[in-house]
């Protein structure tokens, strides 16, 4: 059996995390739950880590013991029944939430995040003004911006993930929100680009053919196999089949050859920042020591 077949799936990991939260919120311990229900401690521990499943009857017993509400019970039972299915298409009726549960969980545990963007800047690099310009000023926009910016806490955890952002050149030149908003955003990109664990690579306009795969994010972790994330207007897709991952690694390899290197990218962004601000090149003191 291949190694990938032995790894937890996205669904089984989310099931385990949901149960861990339920047990914690109920004020119980894993051993206590196992003892009360006549389960072995290893069986329950492996379930929480996504490495095995329980029967519907045993899982329902855990959920009822923890007083889990109906909607969450049904969600976790559904995840259990689908726990061996690889890949996941998720639909949202009113657009993608700013903190998608599955995506945020993977960002928090990722050791490596490689992101490719052809239309707008990566959400993890947005300023408040840039995000607000994209989201508009309708009711709830402020809360949505706050939720989006909260995801950037991934950079300040210890240790932070290694992050590489490939961004198409026209994206950083587009005046989203006007000159002042974009000036602040470009300066923010410069500050972020000199973090030790972060690379910002600009894809020249002449390399547009490399964008046939579209925008995507590849995340890796010591706790799970690699995952590719794709985002649409009302749905997202998580890919984890080895052949799919290999295909996106090929795209990243091609971009690594066609994109400007780290220093060249910083020089281009510095020139753009100066052009937008009409001042001398900005202070590039790092955000972290």
* Res 124 pLDDT > 60: yes
Q: Considering only CA atoms, which of 96, 117, 101 is closest in space to residue 10?
A: 101
The mean of the pLDDT values for the chain is 89
Please report the pLDDT score of residue 90 as a whole number. 93
Q: Contact, 240 vs 9, CB < 8 A?
A: yes
Please give the model's pTM, rounded to 2 decimal places. Answer: 0.87
Task: Give the CATH number of the domain where residue 158 resides.
Answer: 3.30.870
The proportion of the chain whose per-residue pLDDT surpasses 90, expressed as a percent, equals: 69
What does the pLDDT look like over 141-193, one tens digit per residue?
888 899 899 999 999 999 999 999 999 999 999 999 999 999 999 999 999 99
Residues 190 and 47 in one domain: no
Let me know whether 61 and 93 are in one domain.
no
Considering the domain architecture, whether residues 219 and 259 belong to the same structural domain is answered as yes
First and final CA of the chain: distance in angstroms? 45
Q: Do 233 and 271 reside in the same domain of the chain?
A: yes
Q: How far apart are CA 270 and CA 275, in angstroms?
A: 9
Looking at the structure, tell me whether residues 136 and 194 fall in a common domain. yes
CB 201 within 8 A of CB 261: yes
Q: Kindly state whether residues 77 and 126 are assigned to the same domain.
A: no
- Kindly state whether residues 45 and 107 are assigned to the same domain: no
> Is the pLDDT assigned to residue 6 strictly greater than 50?
yes
Which domain range does residue 211 map to? 88-277
Q: Which residue has the tokens 């990991």?
A: 13
Question: Do the Cβ atoms of 102 and 10 come closer than 8 Å?
Answer: yes
In a domain, 285, yes or no: no
- Average pLDDT of the residues in 49-73: 90
**Vertex 217: Cα angle to 114 and 110 (nearest 5):** 65
């Amino acid at each position: 059996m291949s190694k990938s077949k032995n790894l937890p799936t996205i669904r089984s990991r989310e099931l385990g995390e949901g149960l861990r939260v339920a047990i914690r919120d109920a004020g119980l311990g894993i051993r206590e739950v196992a003892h009360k229900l006549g389960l072995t401690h290893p069986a329950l521990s492996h379930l929480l880590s996504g490495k095995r499943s329980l029967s519907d009857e045993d899982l329902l017993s855990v959920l009822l013991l923890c007083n889990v509400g109906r909607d969450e019970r049904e969600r976790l039972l559904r995840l259990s029944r689908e726990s061996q299915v690889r890949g996941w298409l998720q639909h949202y009726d009113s657009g993608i939430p700013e903190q998608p549960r599955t995506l945020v969980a993977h960002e928090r545990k990722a050791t490596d995040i490689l992101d490719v963007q052809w239309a707008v800047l990566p959400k993890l690099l947005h300023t408040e003004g840039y995000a607000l310009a994209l989201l508009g000023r309708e009711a709830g926009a402020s809360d949505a911006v706050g939720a989006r910016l909260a995801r950037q806490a991934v950079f300040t955890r210890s240790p932070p993930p290694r992050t590489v952002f490939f961004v198409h050149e026209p994206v950083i030149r587009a005046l989203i929100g006007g000159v002042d908003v974009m000036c602040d955003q470009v300066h923010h990109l410069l500050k972020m680009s000199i973090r030790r664990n972060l690379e910002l690579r600009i894809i020249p306009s002449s390399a547009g053919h490399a964008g046939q795969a579209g925008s995507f994010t590849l995340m890796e972790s010591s706790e799970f196999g690699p995952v590719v994330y794709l985002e649409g207007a009302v749905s997202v897709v998580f890919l984890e089949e080895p052949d799919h991952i290999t295909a996106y690694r090929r795209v990243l390899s091609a971009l690594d050859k066609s994109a400007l290197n780290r220093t060249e990218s910083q020089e281009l962004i510095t020139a753009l920042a100066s052009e937008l601000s009409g001042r001398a090149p900005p202070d590039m003191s790092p955000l972290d020591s």
